[in-house]
Amino acid sequence: MLWIHSDSFHRLSLLLLFSFIHLCFQLESILLEMQDPKIGVKGTEQKLNISTIPHVIAGNDIIAWISNKMKTSTEEAQAFGTMLVAYGYIYPLQNHKKLVMCNDSSLYRFQTPYFWPTQKWVPDDSDYGIFTLLLHAVCLCFIQAHYNHLHEWLNHKWDFIVMQATEQYKAGKERKKPDRVVFDCQERAYWMVNRPPVSLSNSNMFYQQAIMRSKVKSSVSLGALVKYITTYKNHDPFLASCLPSNPWQTDHDAYWTLNMRRVEVPTKMRVERWSFSLFELLSDLRGRDDFKIFLKKEFSGENLAFWEAAEELKWGTASSMSTKAETIFKTFLAPGAPRWINIDGRTMGLTVKGLEHPHRYVLEAAQTHVFMLMKKDTFFRYLKSPTYKDIQKKALNPEQHNFSPANLEQNALNRSPGIHPIILWQQEEEEKAKVAAASAPVDVKAMMSKIDRKK
């Protein structure tokens, strides 16, 4: 089974790779048309920082050409142009950090084919280190933390990187200024696509957060999984039998009766499930009622009342949202409220400010805070309380009901087969016809004529 999954994943990876290559070739064919001197986008010379840059194109000209070529709207043409910039086929001359196509006079240039994705030029850390060192030398506003991180990462070959960067810096000084600006923009655009800075890449930020997370050993995670399966094994309908009997297979509906939402005396399995977590306890209305009894005895029912009010606001109608939000504020959050809840000042401030323009999830932060308070303290005290122990003693055991396997099997055999709905409909129509015939007035002449015919 694992081999099948890995093979399917390999095929999917190849399919995605081929799709990407096909897409790149399609993009490059369009780019060649865009650079055609006769039918392409007209480029001009533009001054940038006192230097004259050749073959510069404006963003609105590119979008107009794409819209005319593909017969699409301006919005779709702009999205396509942004994709070209994101893949590194076109690069901005002014705002290097913003890889989008702007529908204005922003300046762009076509990237040299050497940097196109189909060239399969694998970005190397050493090359990126050389580029970063050059950028750090000429741009004082470069992120120092990112430079230090790269220095630490490539410390084993930093001398080689410094030597190469020095040579490239000397060679760059010998170039003409326009060529130097163009080359710098080309390389900067390439690395922006292939090695975005940490502060500009959400994915890199995500990876950093993932790396900084505390590691969990596989034995610990597997142990937690085994514990979860062991805990819920008897409550899984696929792994455990339905007690006392399955009402869909027998004529006994005791299962539905015993597991009603607010039954007076719950089953032992139901009470046992309440102890798994506070979420399980609050999800069961019968368990929530029992939890309320405990909180009432401790004079601390405002947290649960607020949690229920937040749930009602979350799943209620939109028309009643403002009224409910105002009621919740006056009952739980306002200074001197009758059922004031104790939450931290920051959460209270955010919640009260959000209630000025209420929506379904305006109480999410406060509700989560209250839930964690009940989970860490009140819930464990409830499990040790006489309230929970009494309901454990009173709970019913479905296995003790008078449903032996032999009786259930015999009962299933004696069940009458169901009648098809069409047959039931036909029987109802016949009954209606009989009733209509019986209630209709009797035609004596018609009756006599029928009798004469029979004679």
Divide the 455 residues of the chain into consecutive groups of 10 and give the mean pLDDT of each group: 46 60 70 83 71 78 87 86 80 73 83 70 58 49 54 61 64 65 66 53 50 70 88 85 80 82 89 93 93 90 92 88 90 90 88 87 91 92 93 83 53 55 77 75 61 59
- Characterise 90 by phi-psi region: left (phi > 0), alpha (psi -120 to 50), beta (else): beta
Distance, in Å, from the CA atom of 197 to the CA atom of 364, rounded to the nearest integer, reads 34
Pairing of strands 44-48, 51-58: antiparallel
Instruction: Identify the pLDDT of residue 101.
Output: 84
**Whether the Cβ atoms of residue 187 and residue 169 lie closer than 8 Å to each other:** no
**Chain-centre distance for alpha carbon 102:** 30
Q: Which stretch of DSSP H or E encloses residue 55?
A: strand 51-58
**Whether the Cβ atoms of residue 79 and residue 94 lie closer than 8 Å to each other:** no
Distance, in Å, from the CA atom of 270 to the CA atom of 259, rounded to the nearest integer, reads 8
CATH fit for domain 125-194, picks 3.40.50.2020, 1.20.1730.10, 1.10.3720.10, 1.10.1240.60: 1.10.1240.60
Pairing of strands 51-58, 90-92: unpaired
Residues in the chain, how many? 455
pTM of the model: 0.46
Look up residue 294 and give its two tokens: 């405990």
CATH topology agreement for domains 125-194 and 266-394: no
Instruction: Identify the pLDDT of residue 381.
Output: 93
At which residue do the structure tokens 């099948």 appear? Answer: 4
Helix, strand, or coil (residue 100): coil
Query: Is the bond into 247 cis (omega within 30 degrees of 0)?
Result: no
CA distances from residue 237 to 12, 230, 419 in whole angstroms, order as listed: 34, 14, 29
Angle ∠(332,333,337) on CA atoms, nearest 5: 60
Closest to 313 (Cα-Cα) out of 350, 354, 348: 354
Closest to 57 (Cα-Cα) out of 86, 24, 81: 81
Domain boundaries, the chain: 34-115, 125-194, 266-394
Instruction: Identify the pLDDT of residue 76.
Output: 86
CATH fit for domain 266-394, picks 3.30.300.30, 1.20.1530.20, 1.10.167.10, 3.40.367.20: 1.10.167.10
**DSSP assigned state of 395:** -
- Characterise 88 by phi-psi region: left (phi > 0), alpha (psi -120 to 50), beta (else): left
**Whether the Cβ atoms of residue 91 and residue 85 lie closer than 8 Å to each other:** yes
Task: State the CATH architecture for 34-115.
Answer: Orthogonal Bundle (1.10)
At which residue do the structure tokens 């922006």 appear? Answer: 192
Instruction: Identify the pLDDT of residue 316.
Output: 85
Distance, in Å, from the CA atom of 431 to the CA atom of 435, rounded to the nearest integer, reads 6
Instruction: Identify the pLDDT of residue 242.
Output: 81
**DSSP assigned state of 223:** H
Q: Which stretch of DSSP H or E encloses residue 98?
A: none
Per-residue buried b or exposed e for 68-106, using 16+ beta carbons within 10 Å of the residue's own CB: ebeeeeeeebbebbbbbbebbbbbbbeeeeebebbbeeb
Closest to 188 (Cα-Cα) out of 114, 117, 88, 47: 88
Torsion angle (degrees, nearest 10) of CA 114, 118, 124, 127: 10
Distance, in Å, from the CA atom of 260 to the CA atom of 248, rounded to the nearest integer, reads 16
Instruction: Identify the pLDDT of residue 198.
Output: 45
Instruction: Identify the pLDDT of residue 391.
Output: 93
Per-residue buried b or exposed e for 139-153, using 16+ beta carbons within 10 Å of the residue's own CB: eeeeeeebeeebeee
Instruction: Identify the pLDDT of residue 390.
Output: 94
CB atoms within 10 A of CB 32: 12
Angle ∠(207,212,218) on CA atoms, nearest 5: 95
Provide CB contacts within 8 A for 377, sequence distance 6+: none
